[in-house]
Structure formats: C-alpha cells, structure tokens
Amino acid sequence: MGSRPRSAASRAPPPELAHELLGFIERLYYARERHLGLGTHSEARLRRFVSIIGGCWATPRLELRSVGLGPQATELLVDELLSQPHASRPWLVQLDQNMLGDHGAAAIARLLCRSDSTIWLSAGANTIGPIGAISIFEALANHNTTLTALDLSSDGSTAERNTFARGLRLAESDAIAEAVAAFAPTPHASNGNDDGAVSAGEDSDASSPRRKEDQDEDEDEEIDVPPRTPPHLHPRPALASLAYMLERSPVLSVLRLSSNALGPEAAADLGNALPHAKSLVELSLPNNGIGPSGTAALALGLPQCATLEVVDLANNDLGDAGAHALGEALANSAGVPIPFPSSADMSSPVSSDDEDHAHARHPSKNKHRTNGSRHASRPASGRASPTGNRSPRVDTIPSSSPAQKLPARLTTLQLASNRIGVEGARALCAVFRSCPHLSILKLAKNQIGDKGAAAIAEVRSQVYAIGGRDNGGEHRGD
C-alpha cells in the first residue's frame, strides 16, 4: 500500500538540527506543555513541535502562529533570540493566536528594546491586556528605531482577543506604573537599537562597546521626553501609552488594531494622537465599534497626520453621520465644499445591533506581502488634483485649521459594512476634493444605491470599487 506524503506539521525533525538548538526546542516544548496542562508526554507532539520550530528558526521569518506558546515559553524564545548574532535574528516575528498574555508581551518588549533586526511584529489574539500592551508601546517609544509594522489585531475567538483597550482596573495601577518605569528612557539607552538598550531592572550588557565608550557622553545628554500624563492616571491607560508611542516612534508606519473593541472613546484618543505621529502610513481599525461619534473624533486627526495614506474603518457602524463627519473633517482641512445630509437623515439614530456585517480588509494594491499581511507603500508624487462637477446641495465650509495648507495624502479608504446611505455617499464626495491622491474607496455592503454611486462618480469617475452588488442599487463598480 502506497504511503501518503506527510504534512509540514508531521515531518520528522530536520536531521541537520544542531544539538544545542534541539535542546532549546525541547525546553520550549515542555514550557508549552506545562502551560497547556498536558501532563501526559507525547512523542508525536514533540516531533511535530520540533519540526515547526526547527523549520523556521534559522530563517528571516519566524512564523509561529497558533503553536500554543504561553508566557514562560515566550520568555525562553526571546532569551534564545537575543543570544543569536544580529544577522541571524528574524525581521518578521509572527506570534498570532498564541497565549502570550501580559507577561509574554513584556518579554516581546525586551526583544524590541535590544534587537535592531525585527521590523515587523504581529501578536494578534494573544489575550494581551493593558499592562502587556503598555510594555510593548513604551519599548517602541523609548528604545526602538527599527520596527515599522505592529499588528495587535484580534480576529480570533473571543477568548483569545487582546483587551488592552479596556478601562483601568484599580488593582492594575501599580503594575501599569511598573511597566512604564521598566521601559522608560535612561541615560544609557537613547531611542536606539543596540543591545545596550535594556529595560530597567535588567543587568546591563557588560560587553556592549557603547556602554564603555559613550557612557560619559550619554550621562550629559538630556533625554527628550515630552510632558505626559502617566498612563495609570488615564481612564484607558494603554491608549495613553499608544498615543505616546505614535509621537515618539520615528519609523513605525503600519498600525493594525482590528477587532479590539476600541469604541468611540479610544478612537478619540487616537484622533488626538494622530497629529503628532511622525511616520504612520497605514491605520487599520476595522470591526471596533467606533460608531459616528468615534469617527467624528478620529476624523479630526486624520488630515493632520502628514504621512497617512491608508485608513481602514470597515464594519464600524459609521452610518451617514459618521460618513459626514469624515467628509467634513477632510474638507475643513482643505477648505473645499461638502454636501450636507438633510437634518432628517442626520437626526435619525444609528443602530449598533447588527453583528452580521462581514469583516473587510483594505484592498490596497501597493503592498509588500508578509504571510497575508500587506505593508503600505507610498504613491508616486505629483498626481494632478481631480476636477469634476459638484454634487447637489453644496455649501462651503471655511477651513477650521488655517495652518493646514496641504491636502491629505490618503490613497486608500476602506469603509465597507458601515450602513452608509445616499446622503453619506454625497458627503464623502468632499473626500475626493481634499484628497487628490485617493484612488481606492471601498463601500461594499453599504446602502449607497445608484444615486450615491452616481454622486461619487460625478466627482471622481476613475475610482476603484465604489459600489457593489450589495449596496442597495444596480451600480456594480470595479
């Protein structure tokens, strides 16, 4: 009888694995087994685990999605990574749908402090709460200058979801203050990327040449830390730390936080932080219950983030009110006309009980693919501003921000599954007038109908996917 080919997960351990590496993987395996409470040893499970870890260990992409890593196993993993030469460390660390928790997230923060190799970190659906998220955000703000993409989305089961956006619990105040102190900037560690940048409480690296040669000079330097309210005094401490990270991180360009139950208040916190973000290109917030009020608060910061090009707000129950707030904020930044929804349309309440909208990710074509992840790239500069006829019922809004002279740089706006109707679509016409680079507007699973699609097409005829079969009309879109 012929034998079937075995899957990657059931292959025998690679024979070339070094004895030291095999010993590390076995320690990692037993830490995982203890965390899962699996008392009975299984040689088959061990072989599968060795195959998975050994197969990706010496590669630039450490892809360990759904392998059961808990906090202790994550500590072992980070220690082993930091013991490797810089050239051997991965640029991609993917740990989605494990069980890191706050302690595992703190271990990842140590990696971010002491390694300049990692440029993409994905740790979605890992039950990371405010303390763990603050560890990551503070490490990025104060000790890391290389990470360009951070994905803390929670698209797994409810039990796996990250919960860092929730409010402060009284018992967490001291632990949050300790997490902030552990990754605070020190005279010996600028917002840098060498092995000398360690968190407080760790032993300093005696072999680091920077510690010996530059210590006196560093002690004389002032650390540029903007005034801030301590996170443990904020009602949503992790969001305060996230805002601080956006202000301080010099290279972070992709931030993905889908399905984290942010809500309107957290969206407002992000809106306040966006004008200070130095390098953010993509902001992905689908399925977060932001609603019209949260969209209005977030939208105020969008045009003031000079680098932002891709925004994903799919499945956030915006309604016409949220679409109007988005159009108004972008129109105000450029002083362009905006179609106002009627008072009857705007006064009708927006329901939030529909849980059946499909989650949709932005479809931007200019991406570097990373195991299903897509990294936004900048568009070619110098594109001409669009021209076109105005939609009905147009008034002009004077600019509320005179200092904002340039139009927003948005190229992609994902608004699928948001209950946007005809009036909301008309309000979005202002987005095209204030964002001349916008070429992708996703409005699938809304109710814009033929009239809404026609209003948008009047302003911008060449636009990717403005309609769809499920938009309450016959317009098909591309």
pLDDT band of residue 214 (cuts 50, 70, 90) is very low
pLDDT band of residue 466 (cuts 50, 70, 90) is low
What mean pLDDT do residues 384-398 have? 33
pLDDT band of residue 361 (cuts 50, 70, 90) is very low
DSSP secondary structure letter of residue 448:
-
Q: Which residues contact 347 (CB under 8 A, 6 or more apart)?
A: none
Return the structure tokens found at 203: 């032993």
pLDDT band of residue 271 (cuts 50, 70, 90) is very high
Task: Confirm if 269 and 240 have CB atoms less than 8 A apart.
Answer: yes
Instruction: Say if residue 75's pLDDT is above 90.
Output: yes
Residue with the larger pLDDT of the pair 132 and 202 = 132
The predicted structure's pLDDT at residue 264: 95
The predicted structure's pLDDT at residue 101: 95
Range of lowest pLDDT (138-152, 273-287, 374-388, 415-429): 374-388
In the block, residue with structure tokens 């740990």: 95
How far is 177 from 173, CA to CA, in rounded Å? 6
The predicted structure's pLDDT at residue 358: 36
Instruction: Say if residue 42's pLDDT is above 80.
Output: yes
Q: With residue 55 as reference, give the H or E element that holds it.
A: helix 43-56
The predicted structure's pLDDT at residue 213: 41
pLDDT averaged over every residue in the chain: 76
Strand positions, DSSP E, 371-430: 373-376, 394-396, 412-414
Residue 236's closest CA among 122, 156, 129, 316? 129
The predicted structure's pLDDT at residue 241: 94
Task: Confirm if 63 and 112 have CB atoms less than 8 A apart.
Answer: no
The pTM of this model reads: 0.76
Return the structure tokens found at 363: 């479809």
Q: Which residues contact 302 (CB under 8 A, 6 or more apart)?
A: 271, 274, 308, 311, 326, 329, 330, 408, 410
pLDDT band of residue 125 (cuts 50, 70, 90) is very high
Q: State pLDDT tens for residues 224-265.
A: 445 677 888 888 999 999 999 999 999 999 999 999 999 999
Instruction: Say if residue 359's pLDDT is above 90.
Output: no
The predicted structure's pLDDT at residue 404: 43
Task: Confirm if 122 and 151 have CB atoms less than 8 A apart.
Answer: yes
Instruction: Say if residue 7's pLDDT is above 60.
Output: no
pLDDT band of residue 330 (cuts 50, 70, 90) is confident
Return the structure tokens found at 35: 């965390």
List 311's β-bridge partners, or say none.
283, 413
Percent over 70 (pLDDT), the chain: 68
Helix, strand, or coil (residue 81): helix
How far is 17 from 51, CA to CA, in rounded Å? 10
